[in-house]
Amino acid sequence: MTTINDIAKMANVSRTTVSRVLNNGYASEDVRKRIMRVVEETGYIPSLSAKSLRTKKSGVIGVILPKISTETASRVVSGINEVVAKKDFQILLTDTELDKQKEIDYIRLLQSRHVDGIILLATNVNKQLTDTIEAAGLPFISLGQDLPGVTSIVYDDYHAASDVINMLVSHNHQKIAFIGVGEEDPSVGKLRRMGYLDTLTKYNLSIKEEWMAEGDFSIESGYECAKKIIKNSEGELPSAIFAVTDRMAIGAMEYLREQGFNIPDDIAVAGIGASTMSKHISPSLTTVDYFNKEAGEKAAQLLLAQMKKKKEKEKFIQTYRLIIRDSV
Amino acid sequence: MTTINDIAKMANVSRTTVSRVLNNGYASEDVRKRIMRVVEETGYIPSLSAKSLRTKKSGVIGVILPKISTETASRVVSGINEVVAKKDFQILLTDTELDKQKEIDYIRLLQSRHVDGIILLATNVNKQLTDTIEAAGLPFISLGQDLPGVTSIVYDDYHAASDVINMLVSHNHQKIAFIGVGEEDPSVGKLRRMGYLDTLTKYNLSIKEEWMAEGDFSIESGYECAKKIIKNSEGELPSAIFAVTDRMAIGAMEYLREQGFNIPDDIAVAGIGASTMSKHISPSLTTVDYFNKEAGEKAAQLLLAQMKKKKEKEKFIQTYRLIIRDSV
DNA sequence: ATTATATATGGAATCGATTACACAACCATA
DNA sequence: TATGGTTGTGTAATCGATTCCATATATAAT
């Protein structure tokens, strides 16, 4: 490996000058040319470890995902990347596999790698997590969960869920079942469920335990939840099922189709997420678009801004859009 | 930030000892305890930039993708991550957006970041690319394209395509249309097309220009290609369409459905990729599973092996599996 | 001609770790 | 008691950049 010292020697200048030329180009015409020629010839690439050690900046931003291979995650990452790549930052990717200890470990790891900032897609929210973030003292953005003390971009889960119910009611549905996830996840688990419950209450519709089931984000769990709901409510079947994610909605549709139910005539289905699939299955799935990529872009922009100038915690609510399709 | 020197002072030892304790734990019981206590108390995190500068190892492996937000990419990355995370490596992610210059730039960039190895999902293959790889002198794996001089994992595109045609023929299809992509992409563009053409020839089936169209991987382009094929072949419609990717196959299905064709009775459709969607649309799509995640895992394993001990170029052919579903 | 100012360059410290080498203390063996 | 081997610890060089400060030269102002 050629180093800055080699270049300096070959160009007959000090390494100080080489560094300056490469960073701001400050030098006499003559010297600059001489240096650049040597750089070209040798194919010299500066060591970013050395640079980072000295400057405390790495040009890397850390992204912590709950799970890499989901459509949401990949859209968000794509949005983030689009923004940061323009400023010559790269992304260091970590995957917690939904393990809350790893969320914390990775923050510390990224810190030790001197990343310039972190974007976290949290699933669990707890004190230890926020303490670790606090201690890291890095520019930090939380996406998808509102973290105390941390600038957050959140989806409007409550109103999105609520709007889905509004829409179902306006389609004359009175008996609406629910497929949710665990409450450790404040956004998807709690808020969406609250949106569902509160809106039913608003319309004075009955809330039945038998019409509620809890899955784990997977298509299969959606299938199982639908089965459970249908089995448990022999007397009175729901006329619609609202699943808090598209994948679970799609699993539910599969079960219903298998059982000979017509969607939407016998039972309507709605999800959240605007997955590619939702558009292309049949009947196409009514869902909520959360603009994940835009959220990723926004997160990246906020992070870059925060890297320039530390700011107070802010909270941004990402807009959403209800997409009404054939499944209702 | 507390440094190793701070720890040394506080524990009343030299930084050498601190380093040793933290790396191999070599020290007397007494000293070790003293140091660990201070480490705990201060929450000391060693600087990986400094470490990397000294050791020439970063614990990071670079991944270069043609496009982040595709199912293939996210499966592969997930496979890679699963393997390398176990060995405490992280992934530095870059996205070329299908730009061949960026493929080269990113290799150099990753090199300057002292990544310990690179996994590249190339789309374009050219001399400059292989030269850059050669020059980087890093452990390197190419996934999806066979790169001269570089250990590669390739999908068996030719035979996969060929098998799709075999299967269609065995379902009594004689008139098989084709939706492909550009030939700059040796694997998807060239090999899959050759598999199609050669197999038609083998069966003595006619190859018609009107039955062939070229898309760009997107669902929309699949739709357009199907339209073009149907329009151009007024006299004699094909009885099956083979698209080289699931997304294009799904686009094609959409057009056919719109036009009132029954799938598979009027026209059968097959794709490649085993996307999640292929399983859940209706009719479910016949496709080829390339085991992308496993390919990612394999790539990671090979890379780790190569990091231990430089090896000759090898070429691995990833297995595939034909999944016959309702669309044929 | 002298002083002040701008411009271009180099010297040397520094960032935070690792590691080759030296050395001291201790115990065991002959 | 001298010799040698272990074991534990420290000294100092090193990795490859950046950057503060000093200095030399050229140019402008008085």
Q: A81 vs B91: CB contact, 8 Å cut-off?
A: no
Whether A61 has its CB under 8 Å from any CB of chain B: the answer is no
Chain A nearest-CA distance from B24, in A, is 19
User: Taking a contact as any Cβ pair under 8 Å apart, which residues of chain A between 17 and 56 contact chain B?
Assistant: 43, 45-50, 52-53
Residue B84 in contact with residue B114, Cβ under 8 Å?
no
Nearest to A108 by CA among A99, A118, A98, A121: A118
- Chain B residues touching residue A280 (CB < 8 angstroms): 219, 250, 254, 277, 281
**Token representation of residue A4:** 């800055």
Distance set, CA B160 to CA B43, B172, B187, B188, B249 (Å): 54, 19, 11, 11, 15
Q: Are B69 and A77 in contact (CB under 8 A)?
A: yes
Please tell me whether any atom of strand C lies within 7 Å of the Cβ of A85: no
Q: How many residues does chain B have?
A: 328
The CB density around residue A93, as the number of other CB atoms within 10 Å, is 23
Can you tell me the mean pLDDT for B143-171? 96
**Per the CB < 8 Å rule, is A281 touching B280?**
yes
Return d(Cα B37, Cα B32) in angstroms, integer.
8
Which residues pair with residue A152 across a beta bridge? A142, A315
Q: How many CB atoms lie within 10 A of CB B305?
A: 14
Chain A CB within 8 Å of residue B326 CB: no
A28 touches strand C (CB under 7 A): yes
More confident residue, B309 or B145: B145
Judge: B78–A69 Cβ closer than 8 Å, yes or no. yes
Question: How close A199 comes to chain B (CA, Å)?
Answer: 31
Q: How far apart are CA B13 and CA A9, in angstroms?
A: 39
Distance from CA of B7 to the nearest CA of A (A): 16
Say which residues have a Cβ less than 8 Å from residue A303's Cβ, sequence separation at least 6. A61, A84, A117, A118, A119, A139, A140, A141
Q: Please give the residue of chain B at the shortest CA–CA distance from A253.
A: B280
Give residue-wise pLDDT tens across range A181-191: 999 889 999 99
Query: Which of A74, A113, A277 is opposite residue B276, by nearest beta carbon?
Result: A277
DSSP string, B195-253: HHHHHHHHTT----GGGEEE--SSHHHHHHHHHHHHHHTSSS--SEEEESSHHHHHHHH
- Lay out the sheet containing B140-143: strands in order across: A315-318, A151-155, A140-143, A117-120, A60-65, A90-95, B90-95, B60-65, B117-120, B140-143, B151-155, B315-318
Q: How far is A78 from chain B (nearest CA, A)?
A: 6
What number of other Cβ atoms are within 10 A of residue B76's Cβ? 28
Q: Cα A100 to chain center, whole Å?
A: 16
**pLDDT tens string for chain A (328 positions)?**
899 999 999 999 999 999 999 998 888 899 999 999 999 999 999 999 999 999 999 999 999 999 988 999 999 999 999 999 999 999 999 999 888 899 999 999 999 999 999 999 988 888 999 999 999 999 999 999 999 999 999 999 999 999 999 999 999 999 999 999 999 889 999 999 999 999 999 999 989 999 999 999 999 999 999 999 999 987 789 999 999 999 999 999 999 999 999 999 999 999 999 999 999 998 999 999 999 999 999 999 999 999 988 889 999 999 999 999 999 9
B311 pLDDT tier (thresholds 50, 70, 90): confident
Residue B101 CB lies within 7 Å of the nucleic strand D = no
Are A90 and B109 inside 8 Å of each other by CB?
Answer: yes
Superfamily of domain B157-289: Response regulator (3.40.50.2300)
Phi, psi of B307 (to 5 degrees): -70, -30
B87 touches chain A (CB under 8 A): no
The verdict on a CB contact (< 8 Å) between A114 and B58 is no
Nearest to B111 among A45, A78, A282 (CB): A45
Residue closest to B271 by CA, chosen among B155, B165, B118: B165
Tokens 């859940």 sit on residue: B280
Measure, in angstroms, how far nucleotide C13 C1' is from residue A53 CA.
Answer: 15
Residue B275: closest CA among B82, B121, B68, B70: B70
pLDDT given for residue A54 in this prediction = 95
Cα A194 to Cα A199: distance, rounded to the nearest angstrom: 8
For residue B206, pLDDT over 80 is answered with yes
Q: What percent of chain B has pLDDT over 90?
A: 90
Give phi and psi for B101, each to the nearest 5.
Answer: -65, -40
At residue B96's C-alpha, the angle toward residues B52 and A80, to 5°, is 75
Q: Where are the domains positioned within chain A?
A: 4-46, 57-155+292-318, 157-289
Domain A57-155+292-318 fold: Rossmann fold (3.40.50)
**Cβ count within 10 A of residue B287:** 29
Write out the DSSP string of B176-208. Answer: EEEEE--TTSIIIIIIHHHHHHHHHHHTT----
Query: What are the pLDDT digits (tens) for B36-83?
Result: 999 999 999 999 999 999 999 999 999 999 998 899 999 999 999 999
Chain B contacts of A49, Cβ < 8 Å? 49, 52-53, 58, 113-114
Cα angle: B49, vertex B51, B56; to 5 degrees: 95
Percent of chain B with pLDDT over 70: 100
Among the partner-chain residues A45, A71, A75, the one whose CB lies closest to the CB of B112 is: A45
Q: Do A90 and B90 touch (CB under 8 A)?
A: no
Q: Which pLDDT does position B234 carry in this prediction?
A: 77
Name the residue in chain A with its Cα closest to that of B62: A92
CA A28, C1' C1: Å apart? 29
Q: How does strand B140-143 pair with strand B151-155?
A: parallel
Cβ-nearest to A112 among B48, B75, B281: B48
pLDDT at A124: 83
* One fold for A4-46 and A57-155+292-318: no
Q: Which of residues 138-197 of B touch strand D (CB under 7 A)?
A: none
Q: Mean pLDDT over all residues of chain B?
A: 94
Per-residue pLDDT tens for B163-184?
999 999 999 999 999 999 999 8
- Residue B250: its chain A contacts at CB < 8 A? 280
- Report d(CA A23, CA A29) in Å as an integer: 15
Beta bridge partners of A322: A288
Chain A residue numbers touching B60 (CB-CB < 8 A):
92, 113
Is B92 in Cβ contact with A78 (below 8 Å)?
Answer: no
* Nearest beta carbon to residue A47 from set B74, B114, B281: B114
pLDDT recorded at residue A107: 95
Residue with tokens 């931003």: A61
Question: Taking a contact as any Cβ pair under 8 Å apart, which residues of chain B between 233 and 292 contact chain A?
Answer: 250, 254, 257, 276-277, 280-282
Q: Which residues pair with A270 in a beta bridge?
A: A242, A286
What is the C-alpha to C-alpha distance for residues A107 and A139, in angstroms, rounded to an integer?
Answer: 12
Quick one: how far is CA B121 from the chain centroid?
A: 5
User: What region does B97 belong to: left with phi over 0, alpha with psi -120 to 50, or beta?
Assistant: left
Position A98 scores a pLDDT of: 85
- Chain C: bases < 7 Å from a protein Cβ: 7-12, 14-20
A301 touches chain B (CB under 8 A): no
Is the minimum distance from the CB of B268 to strand C below 7 Å? no
The alpha helices in chain B, defined as continuous H runs, are: 4-11, 15-23, 29-42, 48-55, 71-86, 100-112, 127-136, 157-170, 192-202, 219-232, 246-258, 276-280, 292-308
Which structure tokens are listed for B195? 């598999």
Residue B168 CA: distances (Å) to CA of A48, B107, B133, B319: 54, 41, 40, 20
Identify the bridge partners of residue A140 per DSSP, sorted by sequence position. Answer: A118
Fold of B4-46: 434 Repressor (Amino-terminal Domain) (1.10.260)
Nearest CA of chain A to the CA of B251: how many Å? 9
The residue among A280, A274, A309 whose CA lies nearest residue A294 is A274
Inform me whether the pLDDT recorded for B309 exceeds 90: no
B56-155+292-319 carries CATH number 3.40.50.2000: no
pLDDT of the residue at A282: 87
Neighbours of B38 (CB within 10 A): 20
Which residue of A52, A95, A277 is in closest CB contact with B49? A52
